[in-house]
Structure 1
C-alpha cells in the first residue's frame, strides 16, 4: 500500500474536534497536523466532513461456520465497513460452537482470508469446558463469552459451580448475556397457555422481562465482586439494571463494565406494532422508560460502550409465529448513522459518540493501537458527512439477509469513506474487494 492524505477534515478524537490533515503511510497514521503536503500521497479532500476513529463493535454474530445462509464473515464484515465499523468481535454460538481452542482458531483462519474488517473472537464458555478455557493465552482473543440465559446456539451456562469456577479462573474479560432462564420459561408457559405458539409479539418484552434481566445480571455482578473477575455485561435493556453500575471511577480501572446496543437505544415496545418480529431480540426491546434510562446511564458513564449485537436471519425465518421466529437482526451498516442521527437531534455530542463506539471498546478490551486517531496507530478511520441525507432501501442494504429494521428510515448523516489499516475499503457507496484486515492484538500485562 502507498500513502493517503486526508485533507481538510474535522478530526474527532479524545473529546476534541479540530480541522487537521491526516497522513497515512501503509497501515499506520504517520502524521496529524494542519497544512500537510505530500506529493507522493493520494489526496482525498474531506472538507466539511468529520474524520472519526473506526468503530470497534464488541458484539456481532456473523454466522460462520454453519449458519452461512444468514450471513458470513465476508458478507457481514463488508456491510460493517459501509457503516464505519473497522473492527469486530464475533461471538461463539456458531455451528460448531467456538468452545475449544481448535474451533476458535479455525474461525481466525477463516477471517484471515475473508474478513473486510479487523477481527477477534471470544472463546465460548460452557458447563464442561473449564479446563480448555484455562489453556487460553490471555492475549490470544477478545475474551470469554458466557450465555447466562438461553440464546441462539444453545450455549446456556447454568451450573452455578461452573460459573463461579470460570469467574475465578481467568484474567480475561468475561462478556455475559444475562437473562434468567427459569423466569423466561415460566413467563413463556403462561402466554402459551393463552395463545399457543402464536403469541402476539407485543408480549415479547414481558416474557423476556425486566425481572429476568435483573435477576441474572445482579447475580453475575455479585459473583464478579466476590471473585474479582473482570465482567462486561452485554446488551443491557432495563432501567432497573442501571443501579448495578458505577460511574465514579475511570473505565480503565473498572472491574465491572456495561454495554448497550443500538436497538435498545432506538426502539421501544411501542414499535412492535409496526415492526413485529423484525425487532425481536434477546434481551427484548422494552419500554420508553427503559430506553430513556439507558440513554441517561450512557451519558453519565454507567454504560461504557455502544455496540450492535448484529445477528442476521433470513426474512423467511423472521416471518413466523412468535415461538418459531428467531431473535436477532442485522445492524452493523446502520448503527453509526443511527447514533449520528441522535447527535443531530441533540441527544449526544459527536465526541461522546466516538468515546462510546471507538475509544472505550479499545480501553475496555485493551486493544493495541486502535480506537483513536493518533500518530503511530493503525489507520482505521471513518469519514462521515453530517449533511448528506439518505434513505435505507433494499437496494442499498449490504447484509446477506437483504433486510434491515431501519428499512424506510432516513438518516441525515452518511459514512462516505472507511479505511481499514490504511486501505480504502469503502468510498461513496463503492466497496473495494481487496482486503487488508488484521487479527486484533491486545496489551494485557
Structure 2
C-alpha cells in the first residue's frame, strides 16, 4: 500500500474548515499538519482549491446480493459508492436468502471481503421467530439489527406483539426500523384499487403509503424503545409529522432514539411523480414538498441525526411497469454527496453540517472504531471534492449495475475527484484501483 500525502487541502472536519496537509501510511492517518515535505510519501496529491473530508458512512443500502444480483451486486454497487465518496456502507438483510441466521449473515461478509472496494458491514435481520439467532450476533462485528415494522418481502415483516416486545427487551444492539403500518397501507391500497383497478396513478403513492401509516408505526417503535430502554434508530423519515418524535436537546452520544433522513425525501416531492413516475417510487413514499423542507430543517436542528440513501436498485424493465407491479426503490449511493453539495451551493446547508451528518454522526451512533473523522491514528477514509467542477449525470458515467439514475440529466455543481478507502487510493479522477479491497467495519461496544 502506497503512502499518500494530500497537500494544500481545505479540510472540512469537526465543525471547521482549515487548510492543511494530510499524510497517510499503512492504512492510517499518520500526520495532519501544514507543509509536510513531499518526500514523506510515495504518492503526492495536490489538493489546492479542493475540499477534503472524511469518507461517508452510509448506514442504509441494499446491494442485492445474494439472490437479486440482476439488480445490483456488492462489487458493482460498492464501486459506485466509492465514486460518490462513500467509503463505508451498512447493508440490509432482505436478500435471497435473507440474512436472518448467523450463517447467512457471515456468508455476506465473506463475499464482501472478496469483492467490495468500500468498507462494509451487514445488518442482521429479524423475523417473528428468529430471536435466538439474533442474540448470537457479536455486537463488535455487526452494525446492528434490522426490523421491518411495515411491509417487507418474505418472512421479514415483524408484526407479532410478543416478538416486538421480546426484540426490544432483549437485543442490546442498535435496532434499525423501517416504520410503516402494514394494515393501514393495505386498507388504502384496496380503496385505490376499487377506484382505479390496476391502473392507479403513481402520484397516489404518498396517499397509499400515507403519512398517517408512517407516524402510526414510528410512534409505536418509539413507545416500545422507551418502554424497554432499547437503542432505536428509525430509518428514512419521510413526513413532517414524525419529527415530533425526536429530541435535539441532548448530545448524540446520549440519545437512545435516533433517526435518519434520506437524500431522495429531501430532493424530490409529490410534484415530481408527473415527470419521474415509478422511477421515484420508494417506500416510504416521497410526499409533499413541505415534508422534504421540514426534514431538511430537522437535519439542520439535529432532530434528525444522519443522512443516508436507502440505495435500492431495480432494473428499468422492472421499474417501467404500472404502479401496482413496479417495485419500490432506486439507485442513489453514487450521487448522495453531490445532492447535499447541491443543497450547499443553494445556501441550504453548510459543508460542515453535511460532514457531521454523513460522516461523524454515523460513526458516533454505531460506535464505529476509528472512522468517520480525520484524526491522526484513525483509518484513512478520505474524500476530495472539487466544488467548482460541475458534473452532469448521464448513462456514460452511471456505475450502478442497473445503469440508470433518478438524477439523469441533472448537472450537479461539484465533483468527487479522489476517494481513499482504509489508506488505499481506490478512486482518482474517474479511474479505480481495485488491487486492495475494503475492510470489515468493527465497533467499539
TM-score normalised by structure 2 residue count:
0.99
The answer on whether the counterparts of 2:2 and 2:424 sit within 8 Å (CA) in structure 1 is no
**Residue in structure 2 matched with residue 401 of structure 1 by the alignment:** 402
> How is 1:261-300 mapped onto 2 (pairs within 5 angstroms)?
261-300=262-301
Aligned residues: 444
Q: Write the distance in 2 (CA, Å) between the matches of 1:52 and 1:333.
A: 16
Which residue pairs with 1:123 in the alignment? 124
Matched, 1:8 2:2: no
Give how far 1:369 is off. Answer: 0.4
Question: Take 1:131 and 1:95, find their aligned partners in 2: how far apart are those partners?
Answer: 20
CA distance in 2, matches of 1:139, 1:430: 34
Mapped partners of 1:417, 1:350: distance in 2: 17
After TM superposition, give the deviation of residue 154 of structure 1 in Å.
5.0
SS of residue matched to 2:39: coil
- How is 1:308-319 mapped onto 2 (pairs within 5 angstroms)? 308-319=309-320
Q: Is the CA contact 2:306–2:358 (under 8 Å) kept in the aligned structure 1?
A: yes
Q: Residues 235, 440 of structure 1: CA spacing in aligned structure 2 closer, same or farther, 3 A cutoff?
A: same
Distance in 2, matches of 1:230 and 1:254, equals 8
Paired residue secondary structure (1:221): helix
Whether the aligned pair in 2 keeps the contact of 1:179 and 1:214 (CA below 8 Å) is: yes
SS of 1:39 mapped into structure 2: helix
Give the equivalent residue in structure 2 for 1:161: 162
Could you report, residue by residue, the CA deviation over 1:284-319 in whole angstroms, capped at 9, with x for unpaired residues? 000011111101111110000000000000000000
CA distance in 2, matches of 1:46, 1:37: 15
What displacement does 1:401 show? Answer: 0.2
Contact kept? 1:151, 1:282, Cα under 8 Å = no
Q: 1:283 to 1:114 in 2, by over 3 A?
A: same
Closer, same or farther: CA 267–153 of 1 in aligned 2, 3 Å: farther
RMSD over aligned CA atoms reads 0.8
Distance in 2, Cα, partners of 1:211 & 1:145: 22
The offset of 1:152, in angstroms, is: 4.4
Mapped contact 2:5–2:40 kept (Cα < 8 A): no
Indicate the residue corresponding to 2:422 in structure 1. 421
| Distance in 1 (alpha carbons) for counterparts of 2:368 and 2:138 | 15
Tell whether 2:342 aligns with 1:335: no
Q: By how many angstroms is 1:38 displaced?
A: 4.0
SS of the aligned residue for 1:273 comes to helix
Consecutive unaligned residues in structure 1, runs of 5 or more: none
Residue 384 (structure 2) pairs with residue 383 (structure 1): yes
Normalised to the residue count of structure 1, the TM-score between the two structures is 0.99
After superposition, where does 1:199-210 map in structure 2 within 5 Å?
199-210=200-211
1:21 aligns with 2:41: no
Shift of 1:194: 1.2
SS of aligned partner of 1:418: strand
In 1: Cα distance, 2:153 partner to 2:207 partner: 19
**2: CA distance between counterparts of 1:69 and 1:397?**
16
Give yes or no for contact 2:305–2:357 (8 Å, CA) kept in 1: yes
Q: CA deviation at 1:135?
A: 1.6
User: Partner of 1:86 in structure 2?
Assistant: 87
1:21-420 equivalences under 5 Å are: 21-41=21-41, 42-153=43-154, 155-420=156-421
- 8 A Cα contact 1:115 1:435, kept in partner: no
* 1:392, distance to aligned residue in structure 2 (A): 0.4
Conserved 8 A contact 1:25-1:422? yes
